[in-house]
Each structure stands twice: as structure tokens, then as C-alpha cells.
Structure 1
């Protein structure tokens, strides 16, 4: 069964069939050849893939991010980020990273981060003589913060698939997100002078001003902070509300939509009815793509489980070693390879039912495992040949994927070092939820 599933899915991907249809086709073909009696189960499992109540948080958080972008929140977050780090070496690159932290705490989607902030920051970095490839690499890699930081859509999916508390997963991602941001900023400091700027521009720059935003172009910190406070309050309200038992993560997503409308329309006064309709249209396209993949991946996962594939993989892993660290390292290798070819949300639904029982049997904390898996999937978003973040950032920067991939190498190296640290130090993910819960 495993061979039929993987072979049919691989054939679909090679034929450039959209991943949702490739997953569904592989599952249905396998069911057909095994038994026609259970073929109707395919439709039932596809529907079951998108009916769990907690999954309602996914489209709501995506819509909230779209409304915030349309309501002028992104620009104010950018102004605040520039006011904080703009005068550092590689200032606009640091602004890009810090803005991803702010915006990721609102949207929960790395693709939304690249799409919204990238269209502003990549042209701005080009104007300040950063190379197009470097601008794309910074934008794509910094967007990985969004799936780690609450309200991460990928963490929501992990919680739904495994039954792990989504609220605790949200808190488990806070410290790793901050640490990853620090890794990116160090990477910028190390690389920006060597490869971040066009050679002709470096010759004309004063050494002490390389990459720094001119003072007359930076908004004063306190006014920038005051304007951004309504936007920054949202992730705080989400986490406090969930921890305080005021609302569930799904209800928090609904609150985020209402909050985005109120702030955009009545505080910033930029969110008009036409902008709301445009944000809804753009959000529906992304929501449809994600839900199609989730529904098909649910069927694919069910067929895998019915065929005993998870049990076989678990036995194979346990035969290699019974050490949690060794198993986690093997899981990292598996996920990094899979993430190069399969979209993150689909990979979560397909692979987690296989990996999770092995991890639990070895005593690996579900919160630790969840964040490690999400980071792996995030790194897959910047790794060819699929690498959605890198593809989108390269398209915005108007460069080919290979040029973007070359510029991505230092950031990918930093990301891998961060992943190893996260793997070997579980307390980075479990300490904060342990204190709060």
C-alpha cells in the first residue's frame, strides 16, 4: 500500500498536478485497487478532514491578517520596526526581520507575511542598494517566524491532529520565535557587508553607514510606538484570553477578525468597504488552497494508517535506536527532506500521525515535538525545489529561484543551527507553558 500511495503521489507531483489533487488521487487509486467496497470512505474522509471545530481558527486568522494588512496595520508595524533597528548595520534587513515578528503575531501564516511585507520591503531594500537576491533571502527566511509564533496556523493543525492543547502550543512557540529572530539578526550582521549590497554601492558608502537607514527617514520611536500599539495589542489579547480561559483558540480567531475591523475602520480609519471585500477575496483564495490540501491530506493519512504504514515506520525507527535524541535527529532529517517537496500543512497531516506515536512512546514532550516539527516545515519553505516562501520572495524581487537559493545559504545554515539547539534543549519549548499552566 505504501508503494502505491507514494508512487501515485510522486507521479502526480512530477506531472505538476496541484498537491491537493495529487494527494486525493493517490489515496483514491490505492483504495480502488485494494477494495471497491471501501471506495465511498474516500469522500467521507475528505469531508472529515475539514470538519473539526478547532480548524475554524485557520480561515479566521487568515482573514484577520488580510484585514489588518488592508487597514494600514502593516505600514505602522514597519515604521515601528525601522524606528527600533533601522540605525543598525544592515538596518532595513533588521527591520524586515522585526516586522516579520510583529506581523507573524497577527497573521500566523508565513506565506501571508511574504506576500504582504515582501511587496513593501523588497522594493525598499532594492532602493537602498541591497541586492535583489539578498532582499528575497531575508524576506523569505524571516517569514518562518510566523509559523512558530502564535497564532500559528501550523501549530493549530498539529494540535488538531494530535489532540495537544493549542493554547499550550502557542506559548511553547514564543521563546523559539524570539531566539530564531536573534539568529537571523546575527546572520545579517555577519553577511550584510560581504554579500548584501551591490558592489558599486559599497564603494560609495561610508563604512559606518553601510545599510543604516538615514535618520531623516526614520520615524521617531515614541510616535511610531503609539501608532502601532493597537496592532501590537492583538497577540497579547489572544494569549492572555486563551490562558485566562476567556475564549478558546477558535473563538480567539473570531475575536481577531472583529478586532482587525474595529482597528482598521475606527482607529486607523483606512479600512473601507471596498478594501474589506478585497481582503476577503484574497483570503478566500488562500483559505481554499489550504483547506483543499488539508482535506486531501486527511484522506491520504487515513489510507496510510489503514495500511499499517505508521506501525512499520515506528518499528523501523525503534529498531535503529531507543534514544529520544537519536529519534528526534532522524525525524529532523526526514522532515527536512519532506519539506523540500511537500507543502507544510499537508506534511503535518500526513506525517504527524506516523511520527507522534513513536515520540510519545519514547517520552518526548508533545509540545517540544510540535515546535521542532513546525521549525522543520518552516525551513522547508525556504528550500528548493518547492520552497513556497523562497519562490514568492524571488518572484517579488524579479530574480530566478537559483539566485535566491544561493543568497539563502547563510540563513539556512543559521536555521539549521537553531533547529539543532531546539532539538537538544527541550526547555526552550516546554518552560513557558510549564510556568503558565
Structure 2
């Protein structure tokens, strides 16, 4: 690349590092590249506007609104109750309840931040009351929240699929098995850590006191009632994903069905939705969609200008010039994704991965769907890794703790739990490809 183009790419990185709004960083860089090349910016603006009219993009606001409606309907409380009654008596029961609830809530909301807000505000105080150290309770909620990014429907995976041009359904499926593995690993680690903590504090084990005090017969009746109530919430991902992969409707049509179903459950079944809460859900969905739409618009401008000057191909050639070893390229991509995840949010990270790193992955012979899974697990790891760690700090805000109190437990969970899963997904492609191959051929 000539010096001017290299300067433009470094300007983009510098703006991101300095906290410049990601959308405008994309736009400034796109216009800068066009100006250096002597091109016409109006052409790129027209192309970007045309891409914004894509039918698949309509799935984004609909999934966001459906998740907001289900959150307003009080499903987090119902999910927590039913999971608590089933698993609360195990060693480290409340920790296990937290992990599984984040995964289930992700299947409904598709947002890690929403999982922290809904699950963390309930489970962090309960775990502390039950004997968990506040720092560990905060770390467990933060680390488990990334399951919401991996269990479909996942909003970052929708954005990545739209940006990279791969199937939304395939992107959804690519992170299912990695997400289940991560949940299982965290459950095992929680049992081990809880056992150590229990011995240190002379407690038999960490349990839900509510479960221990309940009469057995009454408890069984409440468990059945909670399960019936929670089944309505769990029906949302079953209907949406079942409809997509059976071919009944497209992801965009599935998103519309999700909004109708969420409204029905919240208004008729749970009777928690009001006109005010519905308006609030729609307003929040529109606001979040607007933010993402601005990012995507300027991204399309940047992508078009970069493609015209073959910048992604040149970056790919430069990196592949360092080594043509497949394993080395995979490791370099993982490092790049981890750094991106540390610096920006999951939406912006998925966009950057699609624009900058996808050409490298394709040129190295990595299956695009496999790369989608690598992006999903790495961005989740980056979003809870310092220095930026937006999800980690959000959980700390709920528990009102400072970073030193929960950074140790967080790093322990990430290094012994999440990082090994990243390596498994990276070097065993079938973990990402088996479900898409089986269901989508």
C-alpha cells in the first residue's frame, strides 16, 4: 500500500484507541481514503444507502424489540426461579443458576449487556448473601454474560453475517456448540471454586437457602408451576430457530414472528406488559437500531472505499507474508480479534472483524462460517478482558465494586475457562461447522 493509504488505516486505529465514536471513525477514514485516491465520495454514499435497504437488515431492529419486550415481561425472574429449583441444591448451585440463566436469557435477548442487567441485579446480591465473595460473584456474572453472544439469536452474529455476506442462520449455528461447551466448562469451574471457598469458610457447600427451607411437596408444586411459566419464555428461541432451520421463514420473518410472540406472552400470558412498557421497549429498540445503523452506514462507506483501493487484500497479503503456516495465521487472527474485543463493543468488533480480518481468513483458506465462530468466542473473551472490558465494568457497576475486587476472579475464569474454548474452536473447525452442515447443508 502507498504511504497515504497506510496513514489512513493508522488514522482509523488511532481514532478507535482515543475513544472516537466508532461510526464517525469509519466515516472519516472512508472519506480520507477516497480523497487520497482522488475518488468521488458521493458514489460511496449512494452505494452505502443502497446497502442499508437490504431486507436482511430488518431482522436487527425486530430481534432487538422482541428481546426488550420479553425483558419487560419479567421473564428473567421466571427463568431464574425454574433454574434455581432444578439446580440450586447442587454444590455451587447459585453460581450454576447464574451461568445457565445467562445462557437462557441470551437465547431470548441476544445481548450480553441485557443479560448482565437482568440476571446480575438479582443473582449478585443472592450469591453474596449465600457466602460467595462479592468479587467472584461479579466476575461470574460478567464472564457468563458472553454466553448471550453465542447462544442464538445473537445480535452481534446478525451484524457480522450482514456485514460479511454469509448466511445469518449459519452464523447463528456456528456458535451454538462453542457456547454450550463454554457453559459446561464454567459450570465445572464454579463447582470447583465453590468447593474450595466452602472449605475455607467451614461451610458444607454453597446452596440456595430458599431451596433448603422449602417443604418437599410444596417445593415440587412450585417447581412445576415455575416450569410451566418459564416454558412460554423458552418457546421464543424454539419457534424462531425452528422456523429458520426448517425453512418455514427467513431470519427477518423469524424476527417479526418473535415480536408478535413476545407481545402475546408479555401481554396475555404474563400480563406484565403495559402500554408504557411496550412504548419503552420500542423506543429502546429504535434507539439501539439507530446507533447500529449509523455505524453500518459509515462502515459501508469505508468498505467501499477500501475495496476500491484493494486495502483489505493488501493487508491480507502483508500478514500472510509474515507466514503462510495455517496455524500461525489462525493464532494471529485470534490475537487481533482479542485486541479488537478489548477496545470496542461486540457490535463494533464484529463489524471490524468482517471488514478487516475476513479477507485474511478467506485467503488463508479458513471457512467463513468457522471464522464466524472464531469471531464470536474471541469477542466475548475480549469484552470481559481489561483494559476496556465493557461487560466486566458493567457487572462491577451493578455490584458497586472497584476493579481490584473482581479482576483476579475474572482472569482466573477467563484463563482456565474461556481461553481453552477459544483454542478448541479455532483448531477444531467441526465444533463450528457440524451444526450448519447438518441443518443447512
Fold shared, TM-score > 0.5 on shorter chain: yes
Alignment partner of 2:268 out of 235, 260, 266 = 266
Shift, 1:142, TM fit: 0.9
CA 1:326/1:280 → structure 2, altered by over 3 Å: closer, same or farther? Answer: same
Alignment partner of 1:391 out of 390, 393, 399 = 393
| CA offset digits 1:375-421 (Å, max 9, x no partner) | 11111110122222112111111122343333210121111101111
CA distance in 2, matches of 1:178, 1:96: 14
CA contact (8 A) 1:31 1:38 kept: yes
CA 1:411/1:41 → structure 2, altered by over 3 Å: closer, same or farther? Answer: farther
Q: Does the alignment pair 1:26 with 2:22?
A: no
CA 1:5/1:117 → structure 2, altered by over 3 Å: closer, same or farther? Answer: farther
Alignment partner of 1:302 out of 285, 301, 304 = 304
CA contact (8 A) 1:27 1:299 kept: yes
Which residue does the alignment assign to 2:232? 230
Q: Does the alignment pair 1:83 with 2:85?
A: yes
| CA offset digits 1:84-119 (Å, max 9, x no partner) | 221122221111110011111111111221222222
Q: Which moved more, 1:274-283 or 1:137-146?
A: 274-283
CA distance in 1, matches of 2:108, 2:121: 17
CA 1:425/1:213 → structure 2, altered by over 3 Å: closer, same or farther? Answer: farther
CA distance in 2, matches of 1:215, 1:403: 29
CA contact (8 A) 2:17 2:343 kept: no
Shift, 1:56, TM fit: 1.4
Shift, 1:434, TM fit: 1.9
How many residue pairs get matched?
430
Unaligned 5+ segments in structure 1 are none
Within a 5 Å distance, the mapping from 1:254-333 to structure 2 comes to 254-333=256-335
Q: Give the TM-score normalised by the residue count of structure 1.
A: 0.90
| CA offset digits 1:111-165 (Å, max 9, x no partner) | 2212222222223323334333222211111111112111111222222223222
CA distance in 1, matches of 2:248, 2:341: 36
Which residue does the alignment assign to 2:206? 210
CA 1:400/1:47 → structure 2, altered by over 3 Å: closer, same or farther? Answer: farther
CA RMSD of aligned residues (A): 2.4
SS of match in other structure, 2:387: coil
Q: Does the alignment pair 1:427 with 2:434?
A: no
CA distance in 1, matches of 2:36, 2:360: 29
Within a 5 Å distance, the mapping from 1:149-188 to structure 2 comes to 149-188=151-190
Unaligned 5+ segments in structure 2 are none
Q: Give the TM-score normalised by the residue count of structure 2.
A: 0.89
SS of match in other structure, 1:89: coil
CA distance in 2, matches of 1:398, 1:100: 20
| CA offset digits 1:27-72 (Å, max 9, x no partner) | 334434543x523345435535643221211111111111101112
CA 1:128/1:115 → structure 2, altered by over 3 Å: closer, same or farther? Answer: same
